[in-house]
Structure 1
C-alpha cells in the first residue's frame, strides 16, 4: 500500500493548526502577503526551469497531446456537471452541499499534475517524454482555461468576478511571473535547475501557507459546522467515481486512436490527474478568502486518491511482458 505522502501530511497539519490556532487580523494580512510573494516566485522559477524546446516538442504528437487536453479540460468538466445534475435530480438535498459541489466542479477544471504524472509513467514503462510534454502544456494552458472553465461551469467566479476578470487576475499573478522566468531563462535557468530547493521551498511552502490562511478564514466563518464529517466521505466517493470513469474513458480513447501501449499509459496518467500545486494558488486568486477552505477540500482528497490508485495501476502496467 502507498503511504500518505509527507506533503499531504503537512497540509493536514496546516488544517489542524488553522482549526485550533487560526490567524486573524494583522497576522493574516502578513501571511497573505508572504503567500502571494511565494506563489509569484514559484511560477517565476517554474518558467526559468522549463526549457523552451520542451514546449516546442510538446506539439509533435498531436493525437496524444490533444487527447490529454480533451480529457483534462472537456471530459472532466462534463463529468462533473453530469454527476451534479444526476444527484440533484435523483436525490435533491442529499449528499454534499453546494459549496463542496463547487469544489468538485473547480477540481474538474484544473490542469494535470507534472511530477506525479511523469513519475508514474516512468514506473509503468510508458512514454515518459510524451508525459513531460503533455503535463507541461496542460499546466500552461490551465492558467487561461481553468478560470474560464470555472466561470462557465459554476456560473459565477469568486465575489463578483467575471471569467475574463479571473483570467486577467490569474494571468497577472501566475502567468506574468512564469513569462518573466522564461525571458530570463538563459541566466536564471541553470541556477534554478542546480538548486532545486528553490522550487521545492516556494511551491510547497506557498501551498501550505495558502491552506493555513484559507482554513483560518474558513474556521472563523464556521467551516466545521458547515461541513459534517460524513460529507467528506461523500466527497471521497464522488472523487473516486470521477477518477475511475476518467481512467476507463482515457483507456478507451487510447485504444480508439490506435496508440502504442506506452502512449496509452501517458494518456491515462496525464489525462486523469489534477494538480494540487496549481489548484490551490488558483483557488486563492479566483475565489474569496472565506470560500477557499471549502473549495480546495475535494481537491486535497482527490490528490491522495489519485496517487494511491494510479500507483497500483502503474505497478500493474510495469509487470507486463517486454516485447
Structure 2
C-alpha cells in the first residue's frame, strides 16, 4: 500500500509540474481564460461535492469523543502554524519578498488534508477514526477560519481582496454548499462513492490540476515569472522544508508532553502538520486575484509535495519500528 501511495504521489507530482509548464508556456488568455474560469468553478463544486459524499457519519461519531486530540490538532493547524509564519517574518520577508511571504502566510492558515492524513495515519498504526474526524472537521472549519485569518495576518487592502465577510460568503457558496449537498446525498450515493474511490480520486486530482492551470495562467499573464526568480523558488523550497520540520517536531513533542498514547501521537503528527492543496487552491482563487494569485499558490504547491514525501518516509518508519515509545527527538527532518 505504501508503494502504491508513493507511485500515486510521484505521478501527481510529475503531472503537476507538466501543468505548471503548460501554464507558463501556453497560458489561457481572452475567451480561453473565460472558458477555463467556468470549467474551474464547475470542477471546484464537483470536488467539494465528492468530499461531502465521501464523509462517513459513522466515522465522525466514532472519533468525535476524543476531544483533547481534536483540540490539539486544530490548535496546531490554525494557531501554531500562523504563529510560526508571523514570527519568521523578519527572516522570510527579505528572503522571499512581500508576495511570496504572503503566500507562506496563506499556507499557514489553511486547513489540514483529509485523504493523505488518514492514509499515513493508517499506515503508521495511528488512531484512524480520530484522524477521519479531525481531518474532516478541519476542512469544514477552514472554510470559516481561513478567510478571517487571511484578513487578520495579511492586512489586505482594498483591491487586493474582498472583505472577510464577503470572503466567507463567497467561499461558502462555492465550497461549503456543494460539500453539504454531497454529504446530505450520501445515503443515496455513498455506496457508489465507496466502491469507486480509486477513479473518483482521479476526479479530485483533475480538479486541482485544472484550478492550478487556470490560476497560474492568470498570474503568468500578469508577469509572475518576471517577479519570482529561480533563486527565490529554491529559497522558498528550503523555507517549506524548515517549516515542515518545525511543525513535525512540535507536534511530536506536544503529543508526548500532553500524555497521549502512541496511536494518538501518530494521529497528531500526521493531522497537525499537513496543509490541504485540495482546499487551498480553490480558496486562493476566491481570496486572491491577478498577479497575487500565483505567489499565493507557489508555497502551497511546494509544501504539499514536500509533506507527502517526508510523511511517506515517517509512516514507513513508524510502521516498521512499532515502538510503543514514539520519541520526538528521533523524528527526522526533511
| Secondary structure, aligned partner of 2:321 | coil
Report the counterpart of residue 263 of structure 2 in structure 1: 262
Cα gap change, 1:197/1:125 in structure 2, threshold over 3 Å: closer, same or farther? Answer: closer
Report the counterpart of residue 55 of structure 2 in structure 1: 50
| Secondary structure, aligned partner of 2:99 | helix
Q: Distance in 2 between the 1:169 and 1:134 partners? A: 24
Report the counterpart of residue 236 of structure 2 in structure 1: 235
Q: Distance in 1 between the 2:236 and 2:88 partners? A: 12
More displaced stretch, 21-30 vs 43-52: 43-52
Report the counterpart of residue 223 of structure 1 in structure 2: 224
- Report if aligned partners of 2:48, 2:175 keep a CA contact under 8 Å in 1: yes
- Report if aligned partners of 1:156, 1:163 keep a CA contact under 8 Å in 2: no
TM-score by length of 2: 0.90
Q: Distance in 2 between the 1:171 and 1:64 partners? A: 27
Report the counterpart of residue 178 of structure 1 in structure 2: 179
1:84 aligns with 2:85: no
- Report if aligned partners of 2:277, 2:300 keep a CA contact under 8 Å in 1: yes
How many angstroms does 1:321 deviate by? Answer: 4.2
Report the counterpart of residue 29 of structure 2 in structure 1: 24
Report the counterpart of residue 5 of structure 1 in structure 2: 10
How many angstroms does 1:27 deviate by? Answer: 1.0
CA RMSD of aligned residues (A): 1.9
How many angstroms does 1:173 deviate by? Answer: 0.4
How many angstroms does 1:198 deviate by? Answer: 6.3
Q: What are structure 2's unaligned runs of at least 5 residues?
A: 325-334
Report the counterpart of residue 307 of structure 1 in structure 2: 308
Report the counterpart of residue 127 of structure 1 in structure 2: 127
Report the counterpart of residue 249 of structure 2 in structure 1: 248
Report the counterpart of residue 152 of structure 1 in structure 2: 152
Report the counterpart of residue 138 of structure 1 in structure 2: 138
Report the counterpart of residue 103 of structure 2 in structure 1: 103
How many angstroms does 1:112 deviate by? Answer: 0.8
How many angstroms does 1:178 deviate by? Answer: 0.9
Q: Distance in 2 between the 1:198 and 1:304 partners? A: 21
More displaced stretch, 267-276 vs 159-168: 159-168
Cα gap change, 1:99/1:66 in structure 2, threshold over 3 Å: closer, same or farther? Answer: same
More displaced stretch, 236-245 vs 3-12: 3-12
Q: Distance in 2 between the 1:250 and 1:108 partners? A: 15
Q: Distance in 2 between the 1:322 and 1:247 partners? A: 18
How many angstroms does 1:202 deviate by? Answer: 3.4
How many angstroms does 1:150 deviate by? Answer: 1.1
Cα gap change, 1:278/1:87 in structure 2, threshold over 3 Å: closer, same or farther? Answer: closer
Give the paired residue count: 318
How many angstroms does 1:276 deviate by? Answer: 0.9
Q: Distance in 2 between the 1:141 and 1:298 partners? A: 22
Cα gap change, 1:322/1:116 in structure 2, threshold over 3 Å: closer, same or farther? Answer: same
| Secondary structure, aligned partner of 2:96 | coil
How many angstroms does 1:209 deviate by? Answer: 1.1
- Report if aligned partners of 1:144, 1:167 keep a CA contact under 8 Å in 2: yes
Cα gap change, 1:143/1:198 in structure 2, threshold over 3 Å: closer, same or farther? Answer: farther
- Report if aligned partners of 1:124, 1:318 keep a CA contact under 8 Å in 2: yes
Deviation string, structure 1 residues 152-203 (Cα, Å, up to 9, x no partner): 1111177341112111110110001111122222212222223336632432
More displaced stretch, 155-164 vs 78-87: 155-164
Q: Distance in 2 between the 1:284 and 1:99 partners? A: 15
Report the counterpart of residue 164 of structure 1 in structure 2: 165
- Report if aligned partners of 1:76, 1:109 keep a CA contact under 8 Å in 2: yes
